[in-house]
Amino acid sequence: MNVFKGILFTFMAVVSAYQKQDDLSYPETIKRLAPPATINIGGTVPEKEIAETFAPGQKVYQKYCSVCHGYGVAGAPKMGDKESWTERYKKGWQTLMNHALNGYKGMPARGHCVKCSDKEIREAIAYIFTQSNVEQNE
């Protein structure tokens, strides 16, 4: 029964996360990431300044990668697990990109981000490494 619950949870998490996968526009991303309420003291922040607060790869990670890598769904290495990500980093960028672009084990090709460029995928991987404190030589 626990296996069934795990499969059901995984399915529901993936379905709910990708209901609007085609809309990657900046305004829709901000809506999805916005807290339920905000307090603005002293004026507004220009939209350009808000856009610059995202690290390269962060938006793609939050929209696509975090569904599995945020929780370890289906055995995915979790963001912040330095040991697991260091092992993957040692395999080299060519292997990492091959796995990310073509899929690997339970990971779907491009992490379901069919509109993401190779550069965006690489930036998302680099973002995961940075957030997981993996020392990168490149």
Q: What pTM does this model have?
A: 0.62
Residue-wise pLDDT for 70-100, tens only, equals 998 888 999 999 999 999 999 999 999 999 9
119 belongs to a structural domain: yes
Q: How far apart are CA 75 and CA 68, in angstroms?
A: 8
> pLDDT digits over 32-50, tens only?
666 666 666 666 655 555 5
Per DSSP, what are the bridge partners of residue 104? 107
Residue 137 lies in a domain: no
Whether residue 21 lies inside any domain: the answer is: yes
Looking at residue 27, its pLDDT comes to 74
Output the pLDDT for position 51.
54
68, part of any domain: yes
Q: In this structure, is residue 17 part of a structural domain? A: yes
Three-class SS state of 34: coil
Question: Count of domains in the chain?
Answer: 1
The parent domain of residue 126 ranges over: 2-131
Helix or strand holding residue 41 (H, E): none
36 belongs to a structural domain: yes
30 HSE (CA, 13 A, CB side): 11
Residue 104 lies in a domain: yes
CATH number, domain containing residue 34: 1.10.760.10
More confident residue, 17 or 7: 7
* 41 assigned to some structural domain: yes
| pLDDT at residue number 44 | 61
